[in-house]
Amino acid sequence: MRIGELARRTGVSQRSLRYYEEQNLLTPTRLPNGYRDYDERTVTTVRRIQILLSAGLGTSAVAEILPGAVDDTVVLTGRCPELIDGLAKERHRIDTAIAALIAARDILDSLVGRPLDPATAVPMR
C-alpha cells in the first residue's frame, strides 16, 4: 500500500510516517517510480509505534522495543529482557513528573485554602 493508504488506515499523518522512516522505525520498499510501498504488517507496526510514543518513549527506545513485540500487541517477549531496566527507569521518570504536578496543584489549592474546581475556575488574564 502507498503512504496515503497507510495514513488513512492508521490515522497517522504522512509526515509522521516519513519521520518514522527517517528514524528507522519503518522500512518500506521503493517502487520503480520512487513511491513508498508498505506491506500489510506495517499497519500493526504503526499502531505499536503510536502506543509506545504515547507512553512517553522516544523514537530510539521505540526502535529497541519494536523487535521484541509480538502479535498485535506491544507486550514484550522474553527476547527483550535488557529493555525492562530502561522501561523501569522511564516509568520512574513519569512517576516523578506526576508527583511534581500533584505537588504544584496542592500548592495552588493551599493558596486559596481549599481545592480549586477547574470546572468553575475563572481563566486568568
Do the beta carbons of residue 42 and residue 27 sit within 8 Å? no
Neighbours of 116 (CB within 10 A): 12
Q: DSSP letters of 9-59?
A: HHT--HHHHHHHHHTTS---EE-TTS-EE--THHHHHHHHHHHHHHTT--H
**pLDDT attached to residue 100:** 97
Give the span between the Cα atoms of 121 and 125, in whole angstroms.
Answer: 12
pTM (2 d.p.): 0.71
**pLDDT attached to residue 45:** 92
**pLDDT attached to residue 76:** 63
Reported as a single tens digit per residue, the pLDDT across 67-116 is: 777 666 666 655 566 677 778 888 898 899 999 999 999 999 889 888 77
